[in-house]
Amino acid sequence: MRVAFVSSNTTDRRDTQGNRRVRRVAEGLARKGHEVAVFCTQWWEGETVAEFERDGVTYHAVTDTPAPLTFAAKVPFALSSFDPDIVHATPTPPAQVVGARLSTLFSRTPLVVDWYGDDDPPESWSGRYPARAPTAVITPSRMVSTWVRESGASAEAVKIIPEGVDVSLIEDTDPTDGVDVVTACSMDEHANLDSLFLALAELRDRDWHAVVIGDGPHRAAFEQQAIDLRIADRITFTGSLSPAERVAYYKGAHVFTHTGTRTPFATDLLWGLACGCIGIVEYHTDSAAHELVEGLERGFRATSPQEIANAIEKAGSLDTRTTDERFFKYSHDALLSRYLTCYAAVRDDAGLF
């Protein structure tokens, strides 16, 4: 299958979770033998180099600098030369979806938009266009699906494909011992580690050690808060870690907590659950993390630091594991198959089979 991705901002220009997801899917499809091209703003060096290949994926420069309207005008011509079976676009900026849609109207090629939910739900008509224009809109969670439907997508058009885990990495990594509670996040305005630290402070008379993985602009403030609460000597701030280093901590920990206030999909929580952790999620309106622990006997939902503390105590009665194979259904290969199933379905609906 020939798959064309339309994403003017790749991870090389804007490193977001949504752009990482698109890159992972594109490279995964290329490894499976599909012909994959990404139509983007040029990010590689070379004034006259219109194409660049990396990890089996060919990148085509539609524009050499960010210019949404110019990009939208040029992308139909660029796509026509590739003659794709599927056009797979990201929703930001919306103008690129307009260009992709024009291309697919002429060629009768299905258009899929992968709406991860990094950005705030749009209020303008143009911002909502990427929800209304495509044949299908792929989202990572029920919460983002709701945002997309509120932006004008039909219920039938919305398909949920979550994020995934590397099962081989989990199976091959040895656990790091001595960890009771672990969390991982970008330490920004949405991290909300305050809730976890207040919960741990409630349990300061218990024997525990916590690990906080990640970095960001608010790290110093969180470290100071741990000092102020007199629990800093029992919390290890690791900074950014490689995937293998993260997995080692997840496999060694008993509990993974998620307190973030804005989370389209709780990828690190999923990894923690697959590594055998008991999941504790603080519920927030703009976070889909609770979806992963609904109905899970090794999962707790909380709405306050006190409830998080209570859940950590209850988790102490549950067994310790280093893997949970129920979450291996989220393997990257399994999710690639779901993308291919989606592609096949929209082509079938368009009468192209």
Beta strand 51-54 with 57-63 is antiparallel
CB within 8 A of 62, min separation 6: which ones? 8, 39, 40, 41, 71, 74, 75, 78
Are the CB atoms for 61 and 81 separated by under 8 Å?
no
Print burial letters for 232-264: b (CB count within 10 Å at least 16), e (below 16). Answer: eebbebeeebeeeebbbbbbbbbbbbbbbebbb
Angle at 190 between CA 287 and CA 114, to 5 degrees: 50
Helix (H, G, I), strand (E, B) or coil at 13: coil
Q: Please state the separation of Cα 39 from the chain's center in Å.
A: 21
Is there a cis peptide before residue 66, judged by omega within 30 degrees of 0?
no
Q: What digits encode the pLDDT tens for the residues 220-251?
A: 999 999 999 999 999 999 999 999 999 999 99
CA distance 219 to 153: 38
Mean pLDDT by 10 residues, the chain (353 residues): 96 92 97 97 85 95 94 95 95 93 90 91 74 94 96 95 97 96 96 97 96 97 97 97 98 98 97 98 97 96 98 96 97 97 87 52
- Cα separation, 332 vs 187, in Å, equals 26
- In terms of Cβ atoms closer than 10 Å to its own Cβ (0-12, 13-18, 19+), residue 45 is exposed
Crossing angle between the packed helical segments 219-228 and 193-202, to the nearest 10 degrees? 20
CA distances from 134 to 81, 105, 108, 190 (A): 21, 11, 12, 30
Q: How far apart are CA 178 and CA 252, in angstroms?
A: 7
Structure tokens at 315: 């988790």
Residue 272: both structure tokens together: 């923690």
SS3 99: helix
Neighbours of 168 (CB within 10 A): 11
Quick check: helix, strand or coil at residue 53? strand
* Confidence (pLDDT) at 122: 66
Distance CA 290, CA 281 (A): 6
Length of the chain (residues): 353
- pLDDT at position 353, please? 46
Q: What are the tokens at 230?
A: 């007199």
Task: Record the pTM.
Answer: 0.94
SS3 300: strand
**Residue 231 is which amino acid?**
I
CA 55 remoteness from chain centre = 20
239 has which bridge partners? 213, 214
pLDDT of the residue at 352: 54
Question: Residue 177 carries which DSSP code?
Answer: S
Which residues make beta-bridge pairs with 52? 59
Helices (H) and strands (E) in the chain, counts: 12, 16
